[in-house]
Each structure stands twice: as structure tokens, then as C-alpha cells.
């Protein structure tokens, strides 16, 4: 592929709800542009942008695929993004590299939950966008009904620039409402329509739709409005220019139509993108230089800088880094400074991306997307600049994972390789976390849902030959006190030689949630020598870590040491540490011990028709509803729910909403466990402890 100037580049994100046809549209564009020699299909597992083994098997996009194509002296960089809620974070992370978005809407289902979520991402990045109503060849599809859904969600600024010719299986072409031309297509053709006359039975409908387009384009421009009032219409040249400006200003969102599966309307979409979507230089990037925010023009004349928006672990090439040239002209073999790690990176063999294939180029201009293999210390979110520069482009902020699973290696060999293999997968997926819970001592993999974590497990097995087991994580309960105690802890033991003697009096009282632990020394007169006081505190802390009711750490309490006694010969640090432990246990017995459980802040997004089911389900999980909002056709429910009640929520939510809902969850605070549940937890903990002791015997 030849090198393209910035003005001839279009970086386009294909976004929308799962199964709206993003990958099929990308396949149609690649075929029409001659990148592939036949129309590839998702169900056959041979598309350019869905090449990962998991994507082929599941027939869904899991991770954003990137592919470059050439169309009418322009270069398109397509970003085929995930649309299913479990993988939607990758869409947001990748859109930072796009300059505009094509939002796909299913012609049968209309606007769905993830359609609105990806629209929100486009708003965050202030992106121009157009809407493609796809799958108009399907049974029960309706352009009119889908358009009504689009305008209900996004307003009257979503205006048709196409009309479909025919419907369902008779959908054979499109009418261009800007230039008032019609195009006919053959089923599964090359995506290039044949110009025909507008069908007579659609002439009046097309005229009315054209006039509506002219009127809304004129609304935002005084000169066009004056021309519209004078002549009753706008000349084609002025209409094209006015439409372009309205799209660039995000005042209008054109609506097109297509059947990506049968390659109908593909060329008209590509022509529209080439004519009306912005090139990268129309944007100014925001960067931070120390504490100061700076504007960075995306221009060849600036110093070279690039931002890493994605990392792929390839079995043969190793780590492959996807980047956007944010400024300057990036030459092959350039040496740049990684601003995060302060290490120098040599970019050998820079390439353009065509799915899993990389085509080497000599240089890339500002705004272009590229890839390079085997960088030493560069990961997603990093900024690479010339050595004299010190600014960084801020990485995309993604929500924390909503669900965790305990992960364990099946064999010792798997255990040795597991950490390194998971680390390589973490480089690819910013939505994953891998850590060891200090309380439960389990290794946890956290993701957006069960299917997300299962994909990781499959990758570990197939890519790195590491087999692991998944199980629900242990809930990190804690213990605390509700009352006060004033007790003695006395340790006395006589042996043949020196004995052991330590004696202390403590008061214990509760602290507010989050208070953790406080220790106060109120000893007067030397009843406990100063050198032994830290040993008492240490004994109390060690005992608190092992718990009292059910073996969970005790938190949010204060201990005041106010008296005691010692022996000149038999007292030691160990004696007073043991006395501290005994004092702690005696205090817990009378200070009204109680269990605490983690409470999660949960936000659920689902179609409004499921609002009642969601509320009832939350109540059944001991949840407290904290707020509700409605955005378009999406109901947002916020609640505080115990973590123990959320371990199976992902699968239950899928069943409840036919997979049309998503949720996020993060820890908020600890609260008391109701007595009925507390009794069960304590009994289970005691039974488990008894079982462990019997095994040891």
C-alpha cells in the first residue's frame, strides 16, 4: 500500500449493538475495494477483521479488528469494534484512534442498549458520525420503523440521506437523497451499484425526503436559509457543502441504508464517508505536559509523536503494538522515547494493518494508523515522542471489572507458566485484572462477565498450553464489634527454668466504618514496661487477623491499654504478645462481635420493558435501590447490593433480559450481615475448620 497524506486518510470506527452487522459491512467494504477477492462471511469464520480463534468459534467480535483499504484515492482505516456488552470496553479503548463513526442499527430490532452506549462513546470523543440501518434484506425489517427508533433515541438531527428500494428479500437498491440518484445491486455482488432512474412509485416519497433534508441542512446556516426562502430549495453544490459542514459540527447525523451481508449499498456508504467524514487534521489532540494541558495539532509539521491504542499478542511476531501517529511523519527505524518508562524504542518495520496481516511501509503521516512488532517496554496507553518532548496523551479511562473468579492451575507445570501467560493476555485486554486477594489468599481474574473470563481461559489453553480451573471467589467478609469491653489478658506459664509472665488490661470500643484499627497507650506508673507495649499491640493484631466468629479479619475497633503487671525475670516480649492475644479474645467475647459483608455499587442498563423485573430481582438480592434514570429506550437502575448476592448475577441478568442488558459493579463499603445470613456463614466456617483439622489428623 502506498503512503497517504493526512488529508487523504479517514479513520472510521464501526460501532453498534452486537449482531448489527459491523464485521459484515467491513467485509463488504474490503471486497468492494479489492482487498479481498470474495465476499467473506461471519458465519463462515473467514472475515479479515474477526481472525482470533475465539471470535471465529463464537461468531462475534471480541476485540477490535483494524484494516486499511484504498477507495477513490483515499485511505480508510476501519476499526471493527465489539458490540456485545461483555466486550464493549474494547470499543471505547479503540475509538480514541478514530476520527468519525458509522453507527450500525439492525433494521429489525432498531436502536438497542449497546447502540446507545457506543453513541455515548462517540459523544465523549466529540466525533462526527453517520447511521447505517443495516439488514434491510431480513424478514420483518423496516427502514421506517428503524428510523423512528433512531430519531426517538438521537433526535430529529438523525436525517435520512438514503431511501431503500424494496424491502425485506426484495431490497435491491438505494436512493441517494442528496443528488437524487438511484442505484441497483445484484445479490452478493461486488458492492458497486448500477445507476438507474428513481422508481416511479417512489418519486414522490424521494422528493419529500429530499426537501426534508434540504430544510434541516439550511436551518443551521443563515446563507443557506436565505437561499432556501428565496428559491424554495438549495443548489446541489451548496447542499453538499452545507451537509458536510453540519456533519463536521455534529449538528446532523445522516442515516443511510444497507444489507452488509449481501453487499447492497456498500459503495454509497464508502463514497459518503470519503466525501463527508473528517480527515485527522481537523482535530486537535489534547495532551498533558506535567500538570499543564496542551493542544497538539495533528500535522506533519509537528514533532513526531504517537499514541498506543491497542496491543496484540501474536504467537509468531510476539507483541504487536497498534498506534496512531498523533503528529509528524513517522519514518521506519525511528527512535522514540516512551514517556511512561523513559526507555528508548526503535520502531523497525512499521506497517499498515490489514486484520492479522501487516504490510510494511516506509513512513506514516500524521493521523494515520500503523503497527510495529517487538517493542521492548511499550503497552496500551503509552505515548512515544521525540527525546526533547515531555508531553503525554491521556489513556482512555475504562470502568473497573464487574465480576471476579478464583483461578487455579490444574498442574504444577501449569502453575509455573500461568502468571506469565495471563500477563501477556492482560497486555491485550485493558478490561481484565489479575491479582491475589490478601485476605482469602486466592488468585483472582476479574473481567466484565463470565463469558469474558471464559475467553481468557480458552486463550490460556490454546495459545499458551496452560490449563486452569475457575470457581466463584470467596467473599471477603470481615468481623467487627458493636459494644464495649474492659478485660484482662494474663499469660502465665512456669517451666523448669525461667517462666513466662505477661499481664495487661485493655478497653475495646468500636470505630466508624473504615476506621480499621487504633491502639492507644494509657499506662501510667510503669505497670507495663515501655519495651513490652509494642508486643501487646502485635499480639492483638495477630489475633484480629485470624478473626473470632468465623475466621475473618476483625476491623474498625480501638484498643486502649491502661494497666497491667510484669515480673522482673519471667516477663518477655513473647509473654506480653500472648497476653495481648488473650485480652483480645476475652474482649471479643463481650463486645458484641458481628459480621461485615462487602456492599457493591451496581449500575444496570437494560431496555425499559425490563425495569420491573430488574427492581424485583434487586430486592430479592437484598439490594437497596439508590436511583433510576431513563435515557431513550434504556432504563438505568442503580443499587447497593451485597457482594455475596452478585456472584451469579451475570448469568441471571442474561436470562432475564435475553442478553440485552449490561451492568457494572464496584466495591462501595462494608455493612453488617443480617443475623440469619450471619448464622449460616459462621456455621459454614466452623464446619470447614473442623474438616481441615480432621484432615490434618
* pTM score of the predicted model: 0.78
509 and 580 within one domain: yes
301 and 168 within one domain: no
- pLDDT band at residue 317 using 50, 70 and 90 as cut-offs: low
137 and 13 within one domain: yes
Residue for grid cell 485484572:
433
> Is pLDDT above 70 for 8?
yes
Give CA separation, 299 vs 5, 68, 241, 388, in Å.
10, 20, 24, 18
| Domain membership flag for residue 68 | yes
- The set of cell numbers assigned to 137 is 434484506
| Domain membership flag for residue 161 | yes
What confidence tens digit (pLDDT) does each residue in 172-201 have? 999 999 999 999 998 766 778 899 999 999
Tell me, what's the pLDDT at 139?
92
- pLDDT band at residue 447 using 50, 70 and 90 as cut-offs: confident
CA distance 501 to 578: 9
258 and 172 within one domain: yes
Tell me, what's the pLDDT at 169?
92
Tell me, what's the pLDDT at 577?
95
Residue for grid cell 486518510:
9
- The set of cell numbers assigned to 351 is 506497517
CA distance 258 to 164: 8
| Domain membership flag for residue 618 | yes
467 and 483 within one domain: no
> Is pLDDT above 50 for 697?
no
155 and 51 within one domain: yes
334 and 437 within one domain: no
Strand partners, 663: 604
| Domain membership flag for residue 554 | yes
178 and 65 within one domain: yes
| Domain membership flag for residue 529 | yes
| Domain membership flag for residue 661 | yes
291 and 196 within one domain: no
Q: Are 325 and 366 in contact (CB under 8 A)?
A: yes
Mean pLDDT, to the nearest integer, of 339-358?
Answer: 92
> Is pLDDT above 70 for 341?
yes
Strand partners, 100: 12, 128
240 torsion bin: left (phi>0), alpha (psi -120 to 50), beta (else) = alpha
19-23, 220-224, 315-319, 516-520: which is most confident? 516-520
| Domain membership flag for residue 380 | yes
**E strands along 244-333, which residues?**
253-257, 284-289, 292-297, 305-314, 318-327, 330-331
What confidence tens digit (pLDDT) does each residue in 209-221 have? 999 998 888 887 7
76 and 52 within one domain: yes
Q: What is the CATH number of the domain that holds 627?
A: 3.30.70.240
- Please tell me which residue, 428 or 103, carries the higher pLDDT value: 103
126 and 23 within one domain: yes
Q: Are 408 and 434 in contact (CB under 8 A)?
A: no
Q: How many Cα atoms within 13 Å fall on the side-chain side of residue 416?
A: 3
Q: What is the CATH number of the domain that holds 327?
A: 2.40.30.10
H/E element, 600? strand 593-607
List the domain range (segments joined by +) for residue 510.
479-591
What confidence tens digit (pLDDT) does each residue in 596-605 have? 999 988 888 8
125 and 24 within one domain: yes
| Domain membership flag for residue 225 | no
Q: What is the CATH number of the domain that holds 567?
A: 3.30.230.10
Domain end residue (candidates: 591, 608, 629): 591
Residues 6+ apart with CB under 8 A from 407: 418, 422, 434, 443, 444, 445, 457, 468, 469, 470
Domain end residue (candidates: 454, 471, 488): 471
Structural domain count, the chain:
5
Mean pLDDT, to the nearest integer, of 494-511?
Answer: 88
Give CA separation, 182 vs 54, 92, 194, 206, 350, in Å.
40, 36, 8, 10, 42
> Is pLDDT above 90 for 146?
yes
CA distance 31 to 39: 6
Amino acid at each position: 500500500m502506498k503512503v497517504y497524506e493526512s488529508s487523504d486518510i479517514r479513520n472510521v470506527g464501526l460501532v453498534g449493538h452486537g449482531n448489527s452487522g459491523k464485521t459484515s459491512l467491513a467485509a463488504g467494504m474490503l471486497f468492494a475495494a479489492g482487498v479481498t477477492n470474495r465476499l467473506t462471511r461471519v458465519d463462515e469464520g473467514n472475515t479479515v477483521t474477526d481472525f482470533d480463534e475465539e471470535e471465529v468459534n463464537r461468531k462475534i467480535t471480541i476485540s477490535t479488528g483494524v484494516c486499511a483499504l484504498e477507495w477513490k484515492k483515499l485511505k480508510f482505516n476501519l476499526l471493527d469494534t465489539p458490540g456485545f456488552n461483555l466486550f464493549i470496553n474494547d470499543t471505547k479503548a479503540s475509538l480514541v484512534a478514530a476520527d468519525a463513526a458509522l453507527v450500525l442499527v439492525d433494521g429489525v430490532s432498531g436502536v438497542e442498549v449497546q447502540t446507545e452506549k457506543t453513541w455515548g462513546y462517540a459523544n465523549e470523543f466529540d466525533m462526527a458520525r453517520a447511521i447505517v440501518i443495516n439488514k434491510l434484506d431480513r424478514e420483518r425489517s423496516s427502514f421506517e420503523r428503524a428510523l423512528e427508533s433512531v430519531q426517538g433515541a438521537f433526535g430529529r438531527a438523525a436525517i435520512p440521506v438514503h431511501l431503500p428500494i424494496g424491502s425485506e428479500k426484495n431490497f435491491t437498491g438505494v436512493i441517494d437523497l442528496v443528488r437524487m440518484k438511484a442505484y441497483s445491486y445484484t445479490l452478493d455482488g461486488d458492492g458497486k451499484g448500477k445507476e438507474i432512474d428513481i422508481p416511479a412509485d417512489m418519486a414522490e416519497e424521494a422528493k419529500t425526503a429530499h426537501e426534508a433534508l434540504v430544510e434541516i441542512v439550511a436551518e443551521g446556516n443563515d446563507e443557506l436559509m436565505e437561499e432556501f426562502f428565496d428559491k424554495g430549495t438549495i443548489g446541489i453544490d451548496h447542499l453538499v457543502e452545507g451537509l458536510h459542514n453540519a456533519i463536521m459540527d455534529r449538528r446532523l447525523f445522516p442515516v443511510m441504508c444497507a444489507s452488509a451481508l449481501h453487499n447492497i449499498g456498500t459503495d454509497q456508504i464508502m463514497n459518503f464517508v470519503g466525501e463527508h467524514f473528517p480527515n485527522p487534521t481537523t482535530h486537535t489532540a489534547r495532551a498533558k505536559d506535567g500538570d499543564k494541558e496542551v493542544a497538539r495539532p495533528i500535522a506533519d509539521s509537528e514533532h513526531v509523536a504517537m499514541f498506543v491504542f491497542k496491543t496484540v499478542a501474536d504467537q509468531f511476531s510476539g507483541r504487536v503494538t497498534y498506534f496512531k501517529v498523533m503528529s509528524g511523519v513517522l519514518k521506519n527505524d525511528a527512535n522514540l522515547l516512551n514517556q511512561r518508562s523513559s526507555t528508548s524504542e526503535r520502531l523497525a518495520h512499521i506497517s499498515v494493518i490489514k486484520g492479522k496481516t501487516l504490510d510494511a511501509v516506509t513512513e506514516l503521516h500524521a493521523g494515520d494508523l500503523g503497527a510495529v512488532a517487538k517493542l521492548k517496554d511499550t503497552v496500551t496507553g503509552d505515548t512515544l515522542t521525540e527525546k526533547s518532548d515531555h508531553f503525554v496523551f491521556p489513556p482512555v479511562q475504562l470502568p473497573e471489572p464487574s465480576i471476579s473468579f478464583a483461578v487455579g492451575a490444574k498442574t504444577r507445570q501449569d502453575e509455573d507458566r500461568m502468571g506469565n501467560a495471563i500477563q501477556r493476555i492482560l497486555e491485550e485486554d485493558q478490561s481484565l485484572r489479575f491479582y491475589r486477594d490478601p485476605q482469602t489468599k486466592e488468585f483472582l481474574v476479574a473481567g466484565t462477565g463470565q463469558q469474558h473470563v471464559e475467553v481468557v481461559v480458552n486463550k490460556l489453553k490454546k495459545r499458551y498450553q496452560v490449563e486452569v480451573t475457575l470457581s466463584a471467589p470467596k467473599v471477603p467478609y470481615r468481623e467487627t464489634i458493636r459494644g464495649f469491653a474492659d478485660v484482662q489478658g494474663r499469660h502465665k506459664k512456669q517451666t523448669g527454668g525461667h517462666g513466662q509472665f505477661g499481664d495487661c488490661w485493655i478497653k475495646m470500643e468500636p470505630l466508624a466504618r473504615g476506621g480499621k484499627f487504633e491502639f492507644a497507650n494509657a499506662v501510667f506508673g510503669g505497670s507495663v514496661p515501655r519495651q513490652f507495649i509494642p508486643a501487646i499491640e502485635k499480639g492483638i493484631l495477630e489475633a484480629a487477623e485470624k478473626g473470632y466468629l468465623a475466621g475473618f479479619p476483625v476491623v474498625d475497633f480501638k484498643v486502649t491499654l491502661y494497666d497491667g503487671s510484669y515480673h522482673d525475670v519471667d516477663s518477655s516480649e513473647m509473654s506480653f504478645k500472648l497476653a495481648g492475644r488473650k485480652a483480645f479474645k476475652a474482649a471479643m467475647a463481650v463486645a458484641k462481635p458481628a459480621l461485615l459483608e462487602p456492599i457493591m455499587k451496581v449500575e444496570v442498563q437494560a431496555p425499559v420493558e425490563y425495569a420491573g423485573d430488574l427492581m424485583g430481582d434487586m430486592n430479592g438480592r437484598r439490594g437497596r435501590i439508590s436511583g433510576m434514570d431513563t435515557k431513550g429506550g434504556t432504563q438505568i437502575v442503580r443499587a447497593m447490593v451485597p457482594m455475596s448476592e452478585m456472584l451469579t448475577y451475570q448469568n441471571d441478568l442474561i436470562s432475564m433480559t435475553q442478553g440485552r442488558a449490561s451492568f457494572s459493579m464496584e466495591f462501595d463499603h462494608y455493612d453488617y450481615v443480617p443475623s440469619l445470613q450471619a448464622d449460616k456463614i459462621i456455621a459454614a466456617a466452623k464446619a470447614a475448620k473442623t474438616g481441615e483439622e480432621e484432615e490434618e489428623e
